[in-house]
Structures are given as C-alpha cells and as structure tokens.
C-alpha cells in the first residue's frame, strides 16, 4: 500500500483524523507508538528545530526534504508535509512534488501566501491572487503520481471569509484533494469550507488565532482532519529548559531525573534489543568458529 493509500485509509478509519506534528524521526516513532494514524512535518518545525530559524520562509526545499526522508525511513505512518509556497515557479513546484513523493510523503500542503511568507497565525500576511494560487495547485497536481495535494488558504486574515472560501473552491477545481482552512477565528467558519465537498483540515495550534476546539466540536462542522502541528515540540522545548535550568542551578540533574525518559524506555521505542540480538547472531562470540 502506498503512502497516499495509507493516508486515505486512516482518513476512512478515524473521524475526524487526528494528525500530530513530529519534528524528527524519533518523535515520529513516539507518535506511532501513541496510536496516531497520521503525522505531520511542519515547515516551522523544520526551521525552528533543525536550523534554529524563525518560520519566515528561510528554509529551502532540500532542508525540508532531508527531514522527510529521515521520518519516512523510521515509520510507515503516513506523513503530511508543509511545503510552504512550493519554492518557486510551476516548474519548481512540480519538482518539489516529485521529490517529496519519492521521499515517501503521503500528502503535501501548499499555500497562497507570497514567497516571503509568515506564520499563518501572525499579523502582516500577504497573499497571491486567487488565479496564482490555483496555478500552484495545478502544477502540484500535474506532477504527482499518487501523492495527495492539500491547498491551504491564509485569505481569512487578509481578505475575509468569502474570499477564503472562493479560493478553496478554485483550488478544488485546480486539483486539490483537501482544503486547509488556516487561522479560523470562529468554529462556524469551517462549515463554509466543508460544504465544498472535499475533506477539510482544521489547524488547532496553540497560542494562535484559533480556539483549541475538540474533535467532537470540529467533527460536528464536518471537519475531516484535525492538526496539532507543534504541540509535542513545544512541550519538549519547555522540558529541556527546565532540565537545563536545574542542572545549571543545582549542579546536578538529580532533581529532574523523574521527568526523563529512562534508558529502557528509549530502548523499547527504538527496538534496541532486537538490533543487539541481530548483532549477536551475526558477530557474537565464537560465531563460525
């Protein structure tokens, strides 16, 4: 079963489908072991965690592609990937789609911000024309074999709800399989998008413009997918700061050991002992002697 097929299967199995952010291969494994049927690689997550940069369109296609390859090597859970604006013209977008599909991504989302983009929940966003966004989606759809294409619109904050819905409709006509309605400020807004007839994703990110709605509330509006793009990584960052502060202040980690994943827990998630058993079978003492 292809990555795209696995994503569609998850979408059919869970209503709405919860998609959690995974900033690297190990966190993707933890998400899988926690029971999630789909995971997400955020452009902001790549910028912040892999490069120490803000989410301002500063990372390249290859930067994100490397993290995609690492994650899809570690898990078969279908991966949704943020490709920002596609990194260039129609030819660039087509190349991006082919490379990401080849790297094992199940679905990518492309947005209608200008190339010098901003976080979707920050002020000052600027968007391209509806026609240019539709062209981006067409370029992506034409280049894929099976990979799914999601169109994200940031138009609500710039031009209002009617414009955002019109853009979503144009993207569907251009070949988008799904719609990503970014930074909604009222629960009822999602219904305008779900009425368009394709599965819709709600981005339930913390500290943004959207309330932290439950899956039940969103499902009642017809939302098919609920995204938690950086929830775990925010907690990881705070936990790291707490541990660093304790070590620096107490001259020991004794007071925070109870917050740490144990060595045995790490080994369990990694399947460490299976690797060791394989080494022993291949190169153990007295092997072939």
For residue 154, the domain's CATH number is 3.20.20.60
Residues 207 and 243 in one domain: no
Q: What percent of the chain has pLDDT over 70?
A: 96
Q: What percent of the chain has pLDDT over 90?
A: 84
6 pLDDT higher than 90? yes
d(CA 141, CA 150): 10
What one-character DSSP code corresponds to residue 112?
-
Residues 247 and 155 in one domain: no
- List, for residues 257-287, the tens digit of each pLDDT value: 999 999 999 999 999 899 888 888 888 765 6
Specify whether the CB–CB gap between 222 and 199 falls below 8 A.
no
Residues 93 and 213 in one domain: yes
Mean pLDDT of 5-22: 98
Residues 140 and 9 in one domain: yes
Q: Is residue 74 part of a domain?
A: yes
Q: Is residue 289 part of a domain?
A: no
219 pLDDT higher than 70? yes
119 known ligand binder: yes
pLDDT at site 90: 94
148 pLDDT higher than 60? yes
288 pLDDT higher than 60? no
Which residue would you say has higher pLDDT here, 70 or 120? 70
Which residue would you say has higher pLDDT here, 2 or 287? 2
Residues 43 and 146 in one domain: yes
Mean pLDDT of 22-41: 98
Mean pLDDT of 138-156: 96
pTM of the entire predicted model: 0.93
d(CA 62, CA 43): 12
User: Phi/psi of residue 205, each to 5°?
Assistant: -90, 150
Q: Is residue 209 part of a domain?
A: yes
Residues 148 and 180 in one domain: yes
Residues 205 and 269 in one domain: no
63 pLDDT higher than 60? yes
Active-site residues: which are they?
Answer: 40, 55, 82, 84, 109, 111, 119, 152, 182, 203
Residues 228 and 255 in one domain: no
Range of the domain at 266: 237-284
Residues 65 and 190 in one domain: yes
82 known ligand binder: yes
271 known ligand binder: no
Mean pLDDT of 148-160: 93
- Token pair listed for 166: 């019109």
Domain count, the chain: 2
- Residue where a domain stops, chosen among 194, 211, 232: 232
pLDDT at site 289: 53
- List, for residues 110-128, the tens digit of each pLDDT value: 998 876 677 767 676 788 8
Residues 185 and 132 in one domain: yes
107 known ligand binder: no
Residue ranges with strand state E in 89-246: 107-111, 148-153, 178-181, 200-203, 225-228
Residues 225 and 261 in one domain: no
pLDDT at site 286: 58
Mean pLDDT of 30-46: 97
Which residue would you say has higher pLDDT here, 289 or 71? 71
Residues 181 and 249 in one domain: no
Q: Is residue 160 part of a domain?
A: yes
- Residue where a domain stops, chosen among 190, 215, 232: 232
Mean pLDDT of 126-151: 95
């Amino acid at each position: 079963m292809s990555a795209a097929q696995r994503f569609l299967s998850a979408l059919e199995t869970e209503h709405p489908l919860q998609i959690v952010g995974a900033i690297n291969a190990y966190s993707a494994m933890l998400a899988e072991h926690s029971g999630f049927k789909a995971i997400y690689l955020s452009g902001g997550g790549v910028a912040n965690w892999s490069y120490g940069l803000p989410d301002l369109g500063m990372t390249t296609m290859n930067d994100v592609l490397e993290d995609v390859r690492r994650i899809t090597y570690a898990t078969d859970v279908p991966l949704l990937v943020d490709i920002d604006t596609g990194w260039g013209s129609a030819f660039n977008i087509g190349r991006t789609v082919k490379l990401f599909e080849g790297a094992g991504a199940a679905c990518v989302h492309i947005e209608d911000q200008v190339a010098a983009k901003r976080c979707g929940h920050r002020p000052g966003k600027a968007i391209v024309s509806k026609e240019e966004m539709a062209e981006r989606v067409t370029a992506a759809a034409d280049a894929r074999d099976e990979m799914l294409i999601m169109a994200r619109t940031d138009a609500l904050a710039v031009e209002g709800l009617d414009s955002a819905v019109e853009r979503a409709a144009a993207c569907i006509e251009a070949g988008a399989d799904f719609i990503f309605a970014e930074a909604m400020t009222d629960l009822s807004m999602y219904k305008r998008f779900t009425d368009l007839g394709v599965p819709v994703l709600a981005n339930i990110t913390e500290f943004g413009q959207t309330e932290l709605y439950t899956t039940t509330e969103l499902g009642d509006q017809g939302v098919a997918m609920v995204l938690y793009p950086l929830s775990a990584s925010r907690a990881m960052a705070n936990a790291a700061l707490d541990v660093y502060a304790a070590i620096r202040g107490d001259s020991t980690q004794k007071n925070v050991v109870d917050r740490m994943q144990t060595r045995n827990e790490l080994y369990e998630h990694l399947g460490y002992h299976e690797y060791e058993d394989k080494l022993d079978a291949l190169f153990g003492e007295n092997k072939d002697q």
